[in-house]
Every structure is written in structure tokens, then in C-alpha cells.
Amino acid sequence: MVIVGYGSAFVALASVLKLGVPVSVAYAIWSGAGVALVAIIGAAFLNESITAVQLGGIALIIGGVVTLEMGGAH
């Protein structure tokens, strides 16, 4: 299952890159979403605690990806 998951992720990434999304933006979204989703899944399903500081970090990740995308629009 892990091999299928990784294969699917790379195929999806390659497809997005073929559509013209810059590598920096695609990778930022991929890595940022992964970090944020793992933290949220840990809190929601694995009873891990999540603090306001951690939520702030997730918000900064999202803000960084948005900023990266906006910077490339010029």
C-alpha cells in the first residue's frame, strides 16, 4: 500500500507540473499539506495534543504557501 501511495503521489505531482505549476509552488504545497495533515490527523485520530503554538505553525505553513504562490503571479 505504501508503494502504491508513493507512486500515486509522484504521478499526481508530475501531472500538476505538466499543467504548468512551478516546481517551487507544487513542492511547497505538497510538503506543507503533508506536515499540516499529519499534525491534524494525529490530533483528531491518535489523541495527540495540539497547542495554540502548533496551530499557529500550521497557519504559518499555509500562509507561506499562499505567499509563495502570490509572489510568482507577478
Q: How does pLDDT run across 12-71, given as a tens digit for each residue?
A: 989 999 998 888 888 888 888 888 888 889 989 999 998 999 889 889 988 888 887 777
CB atoms within 10 A of CB 32: 19
Q: Is 48 helix (H, G, I), strand (E, B) or coil?
A: coil
Spatial distance between the Cα atoms of 63 and 69, rounded to a whole number of angstroms: 10
Q: Are 58 and 36 in contact (CB under 8 A)?
A: yes
Q: Are 69 and 58 in contact (CB under 8 A)?
A: no
Enter the pTM of the model.
0.64
* Residue ranges per structural domain of the chain: 22-74
